[in-house]
Amino acid sequence: MKILILGSGSFAGQALFSNLLDDGYEVFGINRSAPKSTYYWNWIKKYGKEINKYWYEINIHKDPSLIIKKINYLQPTHIVDFMGQGMVAQSWDDPMLWYETNIARKSYILESIKELKSLEKYIRASTPEVYGSSRLKQKEEANFCPSTPYAISHCAIDYHLRCLGKNYNFPYIIARFSNFYGDGQQLYRVIPKSILSIYNGQIFTIDGDGQSLRSFIHSDDICSAFKSLLLVSNPKKEYNFSSSEEISIFELIKKICNLTNTNFEEVVKFGPERKGKDLIYRMDCNKSISELGWQSNISLNNGINRVFKWIKENNTYFSKLSWDYEHKC
């Protein structure tokens, strides 16, 4: 098995990349930027400069042809794809960029991937945002109802993969995950940013009234899910992955305030709501449980404590950085 991770520098991508390396798999990564420092990714200490043997710095937006060239050179048997423009709210600022990257360039690369003689599985990380806001648990075959350019771009490429599977027998698998989190995550994401703000005595702003409900899935559970997909799943299948815990953003920040012995009213304010923000995502995960034997094992309390420990150990470094999202394409 030769595994290639597209978007190996994304939060979930690097977690899976390091996990597979530790387990002795032959794994390679393509990402728009070089690996982060050991403050973010502690696992880098183990591999040091050796990581450059397995990691290729290529930008999907600027150099899609170079990505294709590298894929053809590596001839992977399995591809896990996290690559593309992330961020939901910011997709409204430049929808064309999200569509160019996540649809046009992605489909261009897929045209070459589908011709690989070596390929056994292509696994794409998708999002529950394709289903839109729903109080009912959505199964994998549910209708799509996107509310942002980000979600629309995911719907389009998911549909495209279904067409490739039907017309070319392309061995795709689509995996939709609830919100990722864990140590090593980008500092602008809600859990690390709120911990950093509160721990350093700065005001944290909640979008809207904070009543939107989310499920969070820890990086350990993300890795176990993808390993199940790599080893157990059959092609042309779709799976949902989520924890069983559900929490409002309001209650999440209160939980973090309690962890840091901080008064909620003193460190939190409320700002405007994001455009197109969905109230709740609920996914039916019975298929991933019954067919793959997967389940979420890291509780939210345990996971947040681990993120807090990571930030506390590296706070001197992190406190000097920006915790806001800075757009790069």
Q: Quote the pLDDT of residue 329.
A: 66
Q: Quote the pLDDT of residue 170.
A: 98
What would the two tokens of residue 63 be?
A: 């150099």
What would the two tokens of residue 288 be?
A: 């991933």
Domains of the chain (ranges, CATH numbers)? 2-186+217-244+281-299 (3.40.50.720)
- Cα–Cα distance, 69 to 74 (Å, whole number): 9
Best CA proximity match to 185, nearest among 22, 20, 40, 32:
40
Task: Kindly give the confidence (pLDDT) of every residue in the chain, 329 residues in length, as a single tens digit, with 9 standing for 90 and above.
Answer: 999 999 999 999 999 999 999 999 999 999 999 999 999 999 999 998 889 999 999 999 899 999 999 999 999 999 999 999 988 889 999 999 999 999 999 999 999 999 999 999 999 999 999 999 888 999 999 999 999 999 999 999 999 999 999 999 999 999 999 999 999 999 999 999 999 999 998 999 999 999 999 999 999 999 999 999 999 999 999 999 999 899 999 999 999 999 888 999 999 999 988 877 778 889 999 999 999 999 999 999 999 999 999 999 999 999 999 998 887 76
Q: Quote the pLDDT of residue 281.
A: 85
- Please list the residues that pair with 4 across neighbouring strands: 28, 79
